[in-house]
């Protein structure tokens, strides 16, 4: 599946590249922490206005942290989560120019930072139904106008109005191949690696508890926004934070002064079971290798199936993928928005092998730290025609392909001899 360079999250990825170039991984970690803190502040303020209870607002912030912790890394998703909650805050403003142009500017920024902005017009239109179930609110006409302008804002990208449609098509096509885009219940109580009650298993338990809580309280304020967010959260782990609005609405029906100790206790449980446990897990893994804990916050884009193939076959080498999939060149900003002159960008290599431990067996880490002479090229299937492969002088050999990526190996690499005999096409 071919994608244009920097498609979708071009601004977010370039922000990360610039931060890493200027301040290194520590700067990237600080950026992630600041965006996460801003998200919690916005959620707390939003929930406090809705519930009029400080303990309930703190619990809502803890819930948002539990739902967002898997995405709070060096990925443009962090901007999408923050801007989603900012959009909900703006929807509380009275109808008028301030709200209309505020939402327009927010969606333009959101669409360039992360393609998650494609849901914005739907949530804005849902606001037209107000607090009376499915009955239109008094300002419904103005709200539908806001939604129409937000739809126009989706086209305000360097590639024009077809960008949103193309992103939806690519996401739907690749969704079944990416674990975090699968429905939350595809693997009951198992995470992507098959571990019982891993990260995704805990999130499923959290969603079960949320569903029970919502059925018990039966909130009716902002009904369509709440149900839409809940449906998207159940559809994908990446969208889990969108369940926060329905949780806030449910909290608003039960928040009472005498229940504050219970709400604060639940907030502490959520913080310990999700964000604190997650970050402690990453800290222990990185500290055991002597690396900075900030490396755990960096999660680059790559073809999942190709990475699995390389891990399964214990290949030693540099992994490359083409410019159209984005990425970084080392830890520095590459020419022309991180695009290497030869059309490839280094994703793995001796410099960064230690940061990719999630997809490599521990025994292979030290081997990858050494200077490697065996190259692996990952391309969209069909990108190289047969005559182009022949023109390469037989250097690149196709070893496996799937609907997302084709993996080639360098037959003339220094270490190619003892690697090629391990390859078995799937």
Is there a single domain that holds both residue 329 and residue 279? no
* Domain contains 3: no
Which pLDDT tens digit goes with each residue over 263-293?
888 888 888 878 887 777 767 766 665 555 6
Task: Tell me: do 230 and 126 sit in the same domain.
Answer: yes
| Residue 139 confidence (pLDDT) | 84
Q: Could you tell me the pLDDT band of residue 208, with boundaries at 50, 70 and 90?
A: confident
CA distances for 29 relative to 100, 102, 107, 297, angstroms = 34, 29, 25, 6
pLDDT > 80? residue 110: yes
Q: Which of 253, 402, 260, 338 is nearest to 9 (CA)?
A: 338
Q: How confident is the model at residue 300 (pLDDT cuts 50, 70, 90)?
A: very low
Query: Do residues 275 and 368 both lie within one domain?
Result: no
**Of 285, 310, 341, which residue constitutes the final position of a domain?**
285
Q: Is 102 part of a structural domain of the chain?
A: yes
What is the extent of the structural domain holding 26?
10-285
Instruction: Say yes or no: 399 and 322 in one domain.
Output: yes
* Domain tally, the chain: 2
Residues 361, 260 share a domain: no
Q: Are residues 125 and 213 in the same domain?
A: yes
Highest mean pLDDT among 80-89, 177-186, 400-409: 80-89
Kindly state the average pLDDT of the residues 123-141.
Answer: 81
36 and 80: one domain? yes
Residue 295 lies inside a defined structural domain of this protein: no
- 7 or 97, which is more confident? 97
Q: Name the domain boundary from 262, 285, 308.
A: 285
Q: Which of 58-62, 127-131, 231-235, 267-271 has the highest mean pLDDT?
A: 58-62
Tell me the mean pLDDT in the region 104-124: 91
Say if residue 265 is in the same domain as residue 309. no
Structure tokens at 306: 């190709």
Kindly tell me if the per-residue pLDDT of 233 is higher than 70. yes
The pLDDT mean for the chain works out to 68
Pair (370, 227) in one structural domain = no
What is residue 356's predicted lDDT score, i.e. its pLDDT? Answer: 39
Let me know whether 329 and 202 are in one domain: no
Does residue 33 lie in a domain region? yes
Contact assessment for residue 115 and residue 166, using Cβ atoms and an 8 Å cutoff: no
The answer to whether the beta carbons of residues 226 and 254 sit under 8 Å apart is no
- 74 or 53, higher pLDDT: 53
* Residue at a domain's end among 285, 320, 343: 285
What is the token pair recorded at 292?
Answer: 């900075």
Same domain as 105, residue 69:
yes
Top-ranked range on mean pLDDT: pick from 5-14, 45-54, 164-173: 45-54
What lies within 8 Å, CB to CB, of 215 at 6+ separation is none
Q: Please name the residue that has the structure tokens 């449609």.
A: 165
Bridge-based pairing state of the strands 375-379 and 318-322: parallel
Per-residue exposure over 145-182, b if at least 16 CB sit within 10 Å of its own CB, e if not: ebbebbbebbebbebeeebbeebeebbeebeebbebbb
Contact 305, 405 (CB under 8 A): yes
* Average pLDDT of the segment spanning 198-227: 81
d(CA 82, CA 39): 5
User: Per-residue confidence at 155, pLDDT binned at 50, 70, 90?
Assistant: confident
Residue 42 clears pLDDT 90, i.e. is over it: yes
Q: How far apart, in whole angstroms, are the C-alpha atoms of residue 125 and residue 114?
A: 20
pLDDT digits (tens, 9 = 90+) for 46-61: 999 999 999 999 999 9
Is 50 exceeded by the pLDDT of residue 106? yes
Residue 4 placed within a domain: no
User: How far apart, in Å, are the Cα atoms of 52 and each of 39, 121, 219, 268?
Assistant: 19, 28, 16, 20
In a domain, 125, yes or no: yes
At residue 391, the pLDDT reads 47
Whether 274 and 304 share a structural domain: no
């Amino acid at each position: 599946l071919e994608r244009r360079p920097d498609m979708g999250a071009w601004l977010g990825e370039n922000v990360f590249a610039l931060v890493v170039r200027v301040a290194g991984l520590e700067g990237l970690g600080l950026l992630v922490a600041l965006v996460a803190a801003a998200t919690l502040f916005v959620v707390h303020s939003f929930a406090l206005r809705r519930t009029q209870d400080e303990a309930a607002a703190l619990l809502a912030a803890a819930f948002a942290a539990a739902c967002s912790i898997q995405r709070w890394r060096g990925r443009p998703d962090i901007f999408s989560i923050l801007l989603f909650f900012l959009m909900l805050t703006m929807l509380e403003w009275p109808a008028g120019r301030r709200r209309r142009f505020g939402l327009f500017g927010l969606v333009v920024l959101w669409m360039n930072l992360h393609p998650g902005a494609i849901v914005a017009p739907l949530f804005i239109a849902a606001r037209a139904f107000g607090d009376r179930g499915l009955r239109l609110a008094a300002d419904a006409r103005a709200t539908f106008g806001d939604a129409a302008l937000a739809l126009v804002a989706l086209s305000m990208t360097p590639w024009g109005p077809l960008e949103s449609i193309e992103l939806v098509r690519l996401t739907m096509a690749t969704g079944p191949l990416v674990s975090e885009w699968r429905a939350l219940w595809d693997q009951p109580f198992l995470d992507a690696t098959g571990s019982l009650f891993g990260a995704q298993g805990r999130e499923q338990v959290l969603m079960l508890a949320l569903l029970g809580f919502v059925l018990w309280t039966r909130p009716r304020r902002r009904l369509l926004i709440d149900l839409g967010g809940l449906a998207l959260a159940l559809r994908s782990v990446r969208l889990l934070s969108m369940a926060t609005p329905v949780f806030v609405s449910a909290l608003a029906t039960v928040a009472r002064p005498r229940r504050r100790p219970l709400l604060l206790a639940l907030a502490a449980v959520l913080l310990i079971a999700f964000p604190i446990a997650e970050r402690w897990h990453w800290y222990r893994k990185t500290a055991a290798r002597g690396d900075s804990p900030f490396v755990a916050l960096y999660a680059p884009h790559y073809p999942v199936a190709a990475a699995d193939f390389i891990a399964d076959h214990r290949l030693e080498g540099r992994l490359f993928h083409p410019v159209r999939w984005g990425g970084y060149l080392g830890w520095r900003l590459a020419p022309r928005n991180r695009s290497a002159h030869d059309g490839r960008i280094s994703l793995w290599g001796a410099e960064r092998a230690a940061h990719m431990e999630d997809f490599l067996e521990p025994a292979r880490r030290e081997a990858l730290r050494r200077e490697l002479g065996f190259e692996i090229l990952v391309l969209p299937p069909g990108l190289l025609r047969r005559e182009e492969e022949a023109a390469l002088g037989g250097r690149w050999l196709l070893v496996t392909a799937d609907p997302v990526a084709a993996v080639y190996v360098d037959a003339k690499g220094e270490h190619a001899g003892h690697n090629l005999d391990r390859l078995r096409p799937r």
